[in-house]
Structure 1
Amino acid sequence: MKAFRPAILALGILAAFPAFAQVNVTVDAGKPGATINKNVYGQFAEHLGTGIYEGMWVGPESKIPNTKGWRNDVVKALKELHVPLVRWPGGCFADEYHWRDGIGARNKRPVKVNTNWGGVPESNAVGTHEFFDLVEMLGADAYVNGNLGTGTPQEMAEWIEYMTSEGDSSLAQLRAKNGHPKPFKVDYFAVGNETWGCGGNMRPEYYADLYKHYTTFMKAPKERLPKFIASGGHDDDTTWTDVLSREAARGTDAISFHYYTLPTGVWERKGAAVGFPESEWFSTMASTLRMDDHIKRNVAVLDKNDPQKKIGFYVDEWGTWYDVEAGTNPGFLFQRNTIRDAVVAALNFNIFHQYADRVRMTNIAQMVNVLQAMIITDKDRMLLTPTYYAFQMYVPFQDATSLPVALSNNATYAVNGRGVPGISASAARGKDGKTYVALVNTNPHDATDVVLNVAGRSVNGVRGQVLTADAMDAHNTFERKDAVKPAPFSAAAAGGKLTIKVPAKSVMVVAVEG
């Protein structure tokens, strides 16, 4: 393991960072844009590895402190993150999940094989009721992914009825018998997942017909009808967005999209999570910034086919994907989480904010122990990752009003003749009325001076937090849980000018003081 020092920075230490360039960032507070939906900060919990079992769910009989089987320490940490929404049960797992296997007495539920993720037994201990226990404890919206791949229209329709109906319905009575007399609140429901791949290897035209077929029979009382999500495309492909927004627009609230950041761009050898060279730091930045182009191209298709902007564009799987940790089950997708991941997360947040009128939900993969996780556990131990802290720092942007940001004289971070923008910025007016600015420095070596202006008002200073570290792969461990965590930051204007020194490889979120 590579040695690193804690990222605890005082203002005096910040002044020691060498300036790389002076970038002008101007926020136009007089031209408010779309609301940044809180669900842009959504999470994803799939039946995958220890992402649910052990990592979050230990069962009511466990010696690890829990509530209704869910770990108290994990739930507390997620509540502090203000998790707005959770997607469940997959992912690829969703298209082999039959909801009736996950209801009733847990000791009588069938044990299946999780064929997608490691070939391990799936106990079905976590089912519909357990999931809603979790989202109710978190105060989060529920996003349920239905089984199109191996299910039937009847099975999907009956799951909707089981979750939302009341009165004399036999399924409502069954739900009550299983411990929940009142209907569940299902906010979003997806018809299948990655139907171009693990969800059935379909053509978009074929899926569009299936989507219309299935949703025809998915009914609920008007006040409890979820928003329906069609399974869309991935990476460079806009075909799915085009076909679905033309052929399956009626009753469709959103089209999903998946994009993962791979350092190498090669699935067979993605790159290491720690101990990587600077070339892979750079390629990771370049790869994740492609998210902007992917969204832009799909939004252009939607603007053509849906000018009224009725259909949202939901990036319901995104994040970094590296080679798995040596010695772990390859099907569990466990990887270390470093300051690089925090920078990647913040870059994506800033991109999502630019398209707030269409991008109304995203879901990072995933919450605990899987891919770009917020939390890592080991038996009764738990630690928070740098990505967790990036999400926590951006909480003021949930349901905030986006504000236009213009950058001039931006720095360039370059390696081997290729470059990416040195500074990424975003701004919004929070629900508390304050103006918040997020700044990200992609350069792992050099600090950058940013001159901040807010059009139409004077700025006396800023106050907030900064997250950075000495090493490119600095990460928290059970021995050093606080090695990478945010530190307080403030800066004051001098001579009518506010200059912020943004450290190398850092994420900063500040409130403007006027």
Structure 2
Amino acid sequence: MKKLLLSISIICSAFVLNAQTETSLTIKAANNQIISKHIYGHFSEHLGRCIYDGFWVDENSTIPNKGRIRLDIVEALKKIKIPNLRWPGGCFADEYHWRDGIGPRNLRPKMVNTNWGGVTEDNSFGTHEFLELCEMLQTEPYIAGNVGSGTVEEMAKWVEYLNFDGVSPMTAIRKENGREKPWKVAFWGVGNESWGCGGNMTAQYYSDLYRRYATYARDYPGAPLKKIAAGANSDDYKWTETCMKNMGRQMWGLTLHYYTIPTGKWNAKGSATNFDENQYFTTMQNCLRMEELVTKHSAIMDKYDPNKKVALVVDEWGIWTDVEPGTNPGFLYQQNSLRDALIAGTTLNIFNNHSDRVKMANLAQTVNVLQALVLTEKNKVILTPTYHIFDLYKVHQDAKYLPIDFVSPDYTSGDKKIPALNVSASQDETGAIHISLVNLDPNKKITLNTVLEGLNWKNVTGQILTSAKITDVNSFDNPNKIHIVKFNGAKKSGNKLSVELPAQSVVVLELKN
């Protein structure tokens, strides 16, 4: 009897794992909407081991580096074509005084990083070092200025130091510090999380303050600023309303911060690796909330800016879990699983599909912090599952957005359900079509029958990222457990595209003539 029950159980399990649903997609020809490459931006704060023991190694380190900037990380990030890098924070930005981070390193004053672990910051990594890193990465810098504890004069002179090519006290100091020509930094954040760690301000107070700071953050010849205001925390729609009403014409972009918390509880977020399917489902529910947030904040922005001149800049997003056991709680070091890759693919699909308003975004954070692309341990480096998503999705950067029409099958858990499937598509300048597909259901594959209206193609190839378990990770002992492989589950059937999308997977297809 026990053998019979076991056999029935195995058969039922096999049925569940091989179960599938069918859906139809329609992909339409390109319009003039572009998926900005800056949606694929990143964030590096003076937090934990992101800068120090991440990008920036000890001066006596034997790890290959150039001027203390770690070269294996640089090469990995260049491969995925990161378009911009945000620095120095985050919460750190509003206690950072830029003049402490220039000049001879042995003369730079030390400070306490009160936000992140109470460690001593020696300011060895400052403005010149960051901009050298950006030049090595071939990426655009995005600097967050200090509104919380800084002054209007301090911010104004930082902009002058960075961008002015004439005769002035700031340019003279820059040249003394070894930089003859200005960097001409465009992206400029006027404060960060001003509703919280950036000053605990009201929306009205911040919007008035922004107007003052932004007035003195000057456009210098050949270096116009794209000024980015500190926007809302999650669903604070009143903040967005106030900012758009009071300063809509004075900003290039308005930020939104939203983190996926597995449990939804900040005091007990949940493990990065030890979770069951119930918590996985809840995490994906929370991840998909980004769609609602972007939609509702965009609607408010449309009210004041119908021509969509102000960008929605989601410059902090990603999964935030409890730290890895035994690590400093203030360093926010967490592992990165297949679940996190599915979150990254899903979120980027949402941004792509809202690229009429979302023009910039920054995953938190690049190295060793939160949903990192890269983890380091001495001379070892891991490229996380999330890194591989950005590698797959780089084909969408600055490509034409292709609208998609479909109804997703459900992924159910008890009496709750979420969309199992999310998709975005684009067409690059060569005419190649790219379709990114995410199946969040860990139990069922999805069969897709796709019509491409007004689009010509003959051949399809693909790549896939998946693994046996949603808890699987790349470790220092097994750094390539989860990696991109060739996908053979797509074919042309008459004039349609047929796809067998495996459970818990991310697939990117390329269609060419």
TM bracket, shorter-chain basis? over 0.9
Report deviation, 1:493: 2.1
Report deviation, 1:131: 0.4
Partner of 2:416: 418
Partner of 1:6: none
What letter corresponds to residue 24 of structure 2 in structure 1?
N
CA deviations on 1:461-510 (whole Å, 9 max, x unpaired) are 42121000001111101111110001111332245543211111111111
Partner of 2:294: 295
What letter corresponds to residue 468 of structure 2 in structure 1?
D
In the alignment, the residues of structure 2 paired with residue 478 and residue 216 of structure 1 have an alpha-carbon distance, to the nearest angstrom, of 49
In the alignment, the residues of structure 1 paired with residue 173 and residue 455 of structure 2 have an alpha-carbon distance, to the nearest angstrom, of 60
Report deviation, 1:327: 0.5
In the alignment, the residues of structure 1 paired with residue 366 and residue 284 of structure 2 have an alpha-carbon distance, to the nearest angstrom, of 22
Q: Larger deviation: 396-405 or 307-316? A: 307-316
In the alignment, the residues of structure 2 paired with residue 489 and residue 17 of structure 1 have an alpha-carbon distance, to the nearest angstrom, of 19
Partner of 1:23: 23
Task: Tell me the secondary structure at the aligned position of residue 481 of structure 2.
Answer: coil
Partner of 2:238: 239
What letter corresponds to residue 509 of structure 2 in structure 1?
V
Equivalent runs, 1:356-435 vs 2, <5 Å: 356-408=355-407, 410-435=408-433
Whether the aligned pair in 1 keeps the contact of 2:33 and 2:356 (CA below 8 Å) is yes
In the alignment, the residues of structure 1 paired with residue 161 and residue 454 of structure 2 have an alpha-carbon distance, to the nearest angstrom, of 54
Report deviation, 1:66: 0.4
In the alignment, the residues of structure 2 paired with residue 457 and residue 405 of structure 1 have an alpha-carbon distance, to the nearest angstrom, of 13
Partner of 1:478: 476
Report deviation, 1:222: 3.6
In the alignment, the residues of structure 1 paired with residue 458 and residue 448 of structure 2 have an alpha-carbon distance, to the nearest angstrom, of 15
CA deviations on 1:61-113 (whole Å, 9 max, x unpaired) are 42111012110100000100101000000000000000000000111111111
Is 2:119 aligned against 1:120?
Answer: yes
Task: Tell me the secondary structure at the aligned position of residue 361 of structure 1.
Answer: strand
Partner of 1:442: 440
Report deviation, 1:459: 5.1
Equivalent runs, 1:33-182 vs 2, <5 Å: 33-182=32-181
What letter corresponds to residue 27 of structure 2 in structure 1?
V
Task: Tell me the secondary structure at the aligned position of residue 190 of structure 1.
Answer: strand
In the alignment, the residues of structure 1 paired with residue 450 and residue 19 of structure 2 have an alpha-carbon distance, to the nearest angstrom, of 16
Report deviation, 1:17: 6.7
In the alignment, the residues of structure 1 paired with residue 58 and residue 69 of structure 2 have an alpha-carbon distance, to the nearest angstrom, of 7
Task: Tell me the secondary structure at the aligned position of residue 436 of structure 1.
Answer: strand
In the alignment, the residues of structure 2 paired with residue 455 and residue 131 of structure 1 have an alpha-carbon distance, to the nearest angstrom, of 46
Aligned-CA RMSD value: 1.4
In the alignment, the residues of structure 2 paired with residue 448 and residue 288 of structure 1 have an alpha-carbon distance, to the nearest angstrom, of 20
Report deviation, 1:445: 1.8
In the alignment, the residues of structure 2 paired with residue 494 and residue 308 of structure 1 have an alpha-carbon distance, to the nearest angstrom, of 41
Partner of 1:184: 183
Return the match for 2:453 from 455, 458, 462: 455
Residues 459, 184 of structure 1: CA spacing in aligned structure 2 closer, same or farther, 3 A cutoff? closer
| Percent of aligned pairs sharing the same letter | 45
Q: Larger deviation: 166-175 or 42-51? A: 166-175
CA deviations on 1:254-310 (whole Å, 9 max, x unpaired) are 111100001111100111100101111101111011101101111111111111222
Partner of 2:265: 266
Task: Tell me the secondary structure at the aligned position of residue 233 of structure 2.
Answer: coil
CA deviations on 1:113-153 (whole Å, 9 max, x unpaired) are 10000001101111000000011111111100000011000
Q: Larger deviation: 427-436 or 260-269? A: 427-436
Whether the aligned pair in 2 keeps the contact of 1:118 and 1:331 (CA below 8 Å) is yes
Partner of 1:469: 467
Partner of 2:511: 512
Partner of 2:274: 275
CA deviations on 1:373-431 (whole Å, 9 max, x unpaired) are 000001111010000000000000000110110113x3211112111111111111113
In the alignment, the residues of structure 1 paired with residue 229 and residue 27 of structure 2 have an alpha-carbon distance, to the nearest angstrom, of 35
In the alignment, the residues of structure 2 paired with residue 463 and residue 396 of structure 1 have an alpha-carbon distance, to the nearest angstrom, of 13
Whether the aligned pair in 2 keeps the contact of 1:453 and 1:498 (CA below 8 Å) is yes
Residues 294, 168 of structure 1: CA spacing in aligned structure 2 closer, same or farther, 3 A cutoff? same
CA deviations on 1:3-25 (whole Å, 9 max, x unpaired) are xxxxxxxxxxxxx9724101111
In the alignment, the residues of structure 1 paired with residue 268 and residue 59 of structure 2 have an alpha-carbon distance, to the nearest angstrom, of 40
Task: Tell me the secondary structure at the aligned position of residue 157 of structure 2.
Answer: helix
What letter corresponds to residue 25 of structure 1 in structure 2?
L
In the alignment, the residues of structure 2 paired with residue 161 and residue 214 of structure 1 have an alpha-carbon distance, to the nearest angstrom, of 14
Task: Tell me the secondary structure at the aligned position of residue 233 of structure 1.
Answer: strand
In the alignment, the residues of structure 1 paired with residue 415 and residue 307 of structure 2 have an alpha-carbon distance, to the nearest angstrom, of 43
Whether the aligned pair in 2 keeps the contact of 1:385 and 1:476 (CA below 8 Å) is yes
Q: Structure with the greater relative contact order (CA < 8 A, sep ≥ 6): 1 or 2?
A: 1
Task: Tell me the secondary structure at the aligned position of residue 284 of structure 1.
Answer: helix
Whether the aligned pair in 2 keeps the contact of 1:19 and 1:446 (CA below 8 Å) is yes
In the alignment, the residues of structure 2 paired with residue 445 and residue 134 of structure 1 have an alpha-carbon distance, to the nearest angstrom, of 43
What letter corresponds to residue 262 of structure 1 in structure 2?
I
Structure 2 unaligned residues grouped into runs of 5+: 1-15
Residues 513, 250 of structure 1: CA spacing in aligned structure 2 closer, same or farther, 3 A cutoff? closer
Whether the aligned pair in 2 keeps the contact of 1:167 and 1:173 (CA below 8 Å) is no
What letter corresponds to residue 295 of structure 1 in structure 2?
V
Whether the aligned pair in 2 keeps the contact of 1:449 and 1:499 (CA below 8 Å) is yes
Partner of 1:254: 253
Is 2:31 aligned against 1:32?
Answer: yes
Task: Tell me the secondary structure at the aligned position of residue 172 of structure 1.
Answer: helix
Report deviation, 1:33: 4.6
Report deviation, 1:250: 2.7
Task: Tell me the secondary structure at the aligned position of residue 287 of structure 2.
Answer: helix
Task: Tell me the secondary structure at the aligned position of residue 239 of structure 2.
Answer: helix
Q: Larger deviation: 38-47 or 56-65? A: 56-65
Task: Tell me the secondary structure at the aligned position of residue 243 of structure 2.
Answer: helix
What letter corresponds to residue 297 of structure 2 in structure 1?
N
What letter corresponds to residue 380 of structure 1 in structure 2?
N
Whether the aligned pair in 1 keeps the contact of 2:451 and 2:495 (CA below 8 Å) is no
Whether the aligned pair in 2 keeps the contact of 1:20 and 1:411 (CA below 8 Å) is no
